Structure 1
Amino acid sequence: MKERQYPAAPRDVYLFATCLVDLFVPEAGLDAVRLLEREGLVVHFPHEQSCCGQPAYSSGNPEQARDVARAQLDLFSKPWPVIVPSGSCAGMMRHHWPKLFADEPAMAEKARELGERVYELSEFLLRVLHIELPSTTDAPAEHVVLHTSCAARREMGTRVHGVELVDALPGVTRIEHERESECCGFGGTFSLKHPDISGAMVRDKVASACATGCERIVSADCGCLLNIGHAARHQDAPIEVEHLASFLWRRTQDPTARNEGKGGKA
């Protein structure tokens, strides 16, 4: 993976929340906004945004993915970073949107320019904002495992960012387990087309995490979290799941601060 050059911290950023955050885990999006606003940024949220097009693209339907991407390109017209609380969606926007428009040079250039401004949340917090986490906390100690989606690992290199952030949190012990690098079995439409294989993969993932004695699985990808969390509940496994944005916010705030976030700006 080509080493990325990082800009100075900006004043304004866009948030691309992803469809899964919007529909299933809105608190993760709100906590991402809170983290960014706490660092002094103005967060802009274009309300017309929808999906990154990854489900269609990974299912072999580039035409539909192109239509979805085309509808998003003009929503982020200012030269501001686009922050995405999902490594897989960020990878789709940064690396695959330009490919979708290979036969349309003007659109391909627009997609490439936008892709250069796309950052996964934890990457942006660390490499652009150089976030400083507190050295002490009143929060109770927690043992967690970190899950990084396959696409986030390959395309955005985000595991290193998640590890660095979690390891910097006081009172948090991150435990590695033998199936940490394996896919959780979600894979977007893979879990629908091959439910037996997907189910076996996520059962192995949950069992391996539980074997560490941890209380929580933390991830920056909602698809994986929904899959793992559902499997854990189905198995009555003694483990919780939480998006990295919410985990970071919760571990670095007073309990009364959760409702003080201002929300994004249109």
Structure 2
Amino acid sequence: MAVDLFIPCFIDQIYPDTAFNVVKILRKAGLEVNYNPEQTCCGQPAFNSGYWDETKTLAKKFILDFPNDRHIVSPSASCTGFIKNYYPDLFKTGQAGFEDYQRLNRNLFELTDYLVNHLKFTDFGAEFPHKVCYHDACTALREYGIRQEPRLLLSKVKGLELVEMEDTETCCGFGGTFSAKFTAISSAMTEQKVENALKTGAEYIISTESSCIMNLEGYILKNNLPIKPIHIADILASGWE
């Protein structure tokens, strides 16, 4: 079966190795992966900042970048959740673009949801002999609705020990433009999240969201702390060729 791959801005620009690992995972699951290099942002940053006209321009392009009626998989519940929940504010029922949005909506899936609930493929033979904790990103948990899926996939990884941190469902402090507009509050939230992770003795903080990873990584590197954030796709692709 062929699927289309949607790689969000953060991964494209900052964590390209994660994108390649997503391709590796999907191929291991038996899929043919198609990637349109013309794809760009889904429009979430502009939308959250109040620029809805600009967002609609990006949204129209996004729909045109995925013209085929087949599944679209993305390693981000934030971007997929935004498209599913907020594109209806841009494309009202009966208006131009609404039917195209409906096609996109029914075909779009976050990576861990797709692997667990649609492909029923959970064991990649991955190996990662480390103690880790998992960060439930706000959008992944509350807007897309994944919680057990990443944990199930991690439970199949050989050598991996998953420990739960305190307040795992609390925001890491990024929140898109929130971290720029309310820097002091954001930094305090990030500090709390990292401290909770450190208390577990974990070597890694795992997330489905590269934006959270970027935010946590900035704080960790600045303070030279003994823990590293990592995307779940990088874990699932480890230990095998």
Q: Note whether the superposition's TM-score is higher than 0.5.
A: yes
Cross-structure match for 1:8 = none
Cross-structure match for 1:108 = 98
1:173-208 deviations in whole A, cap 9, x for unaligned? 111111211100101111011111100100110011
Q: Which moved more, 1:35-44 or 1:94-103?
A: 94-103
Whether the 8 Å CA contact 1:82–1:117 is kept in 2: the answer is yes
**C-alpha distance in structure 2 between counterparts of 1:60 and 1:176, whole Å:** 36
Asked if 1:176 corresponds to 2:164, the answer is yes
Cross-structure match for 1:238 = 226
Counting only pairs closer than 5 Å after superposition, residues 214-225 of structure 1 correspond to structure 2 as 214-225=202-213
Cross-structure match for 1:21 = 11
Whether the 8 Å CA contact 1:217–1:242 is kept in 2: the answer is yes
* Structure 2: unaligned runs, 5 residues or longer: none
Asked if 1:56 corresponds to 2:51, the answer is no
Shift in alpha-carbon separation, 1:117–1:105, aligned structure 2, 3 A? same
Whether the 8 Å CA contact 1:134–1:170 is kept in 2: the answer is no
Counting only pairs closer than 5 Å after superposition, residues 1-266 of structure 1 correspond to structure 2 as 11-102=1-92, 105-133=95-123, 139=127, 141-250=129-238, 253-254=239-240, 257=241
TM-score, reference length from structure 2: 0.95
Shift in alpha-carbon separation, 1:115–1:103, aligned structure 2, 3 A? closer
What number of residue pairs does the alignment pair up? 241
* 2:226 partner SS: coil
**C-alpha distance in structure 2 between counterparts of 1:37 and 1:106, whole Å:** 35
**C-alpha distance in structure 2 between counterparts of 1:134 and 1:115, whole Å:** 27
* 1:105 partner SS: coil
* Structure 1: unaligned runs, 5 residues or longer: 1-10, 258-266
* 2:150 partner SS: helix
Q: Which amino acid aligns with 2:191?
A: R
Q: Which moved more, 1:115-124 or 1:167-176?
A: 167-176
Q: Which moved more, 1:95-104 or 1:110-119?
A: 95-104
**C-alpha distance in structure 2 between counterparts of 1:185 and 1:122, whole Å:** 23
Shift in alpha-carbon separation, 1:131–1:237, aligned structure 2, 3 A? same
Shift in alpha-carbon separation, 1:45–1:140, aligned structure 2, 3 A? closer
Whether the 8 Å CA contact 2:206–2:231 is kept in 1: the answer is yes
1:55-94 deviations in whole A, cap 9, x for unaligned? 1111222211111111111221111111010010010122
Percent identity, please.
33
**C-alpha distance in structure 2 between counterparts of 1:225 and 1:86, whole Å:** 12
Shift of 1:140: 5.7
